[in-house]
Amino acid sequence: MNNSIIKIALVGAGGWGRQHARILAERPDVEFCGIAGRTPEKTRVRAEMYGVPFYTDIQTLLEKTHPDLVSLCLPNKGHFDATLEIIRAGYPLLVEKPLVFSLDEADVLLHPGR
């Protein structure tokens, strides 16, 4: 990671994803490197707004962009599975709250290898 520029990928092209995309694109210290979303057309449109590639799954986003950080902005019910996938892939992430809905889910995220 370059100390002055951080490469950030976004997961989620909806309401909060729109806000994060706008901020990421405006920051001079960020390389906004791609968006993954559940709805291909919405994700494509959002990506075109900011001149970044779009993907329909997290794994491909990570493989193609190799970000320094992933910003996760999915609907609440989608946080657990996506967070676990990103953790298991070894990438740092920022997750909109709530992170999980149960202590069992929290335990899985704290100990993803179990």
The CA distance from 44 to 56, in Å, is 9
Domains belonging to the chain, first-starting first, are 6-110 (3.40.50.720)
Length of the chain: 114
Count other Cβ atoms within 10 Å, centred on residue 36. Answer: 28
pLDDT value at position 113? 58
Residue written as tokens 């190799």? Answer: 66
Read off the amino acid at residue 16: W
Per-residue pLDDT of the chain (114 residues; tens, 9 = 90+): 557 899 999 999 999 999 999 999 999 999 999 999 999 999 999 999 999 999 999 999 999 999 999 999 998 888 899 999 999 999 999 997 888 889 999 888 888 755
| CB < 8 Å & 24+ apart, contacts of 46-49 | 46/13, 46/17, 46/18, 46/21, 47/13, 49/21
pLDDT value at position 6? 98
pLDDT value at position 75? 85
Closest by CA position to 35, among listed 2, 1, 64, 5: 64
CB 27 within 8 A of CB 20: no
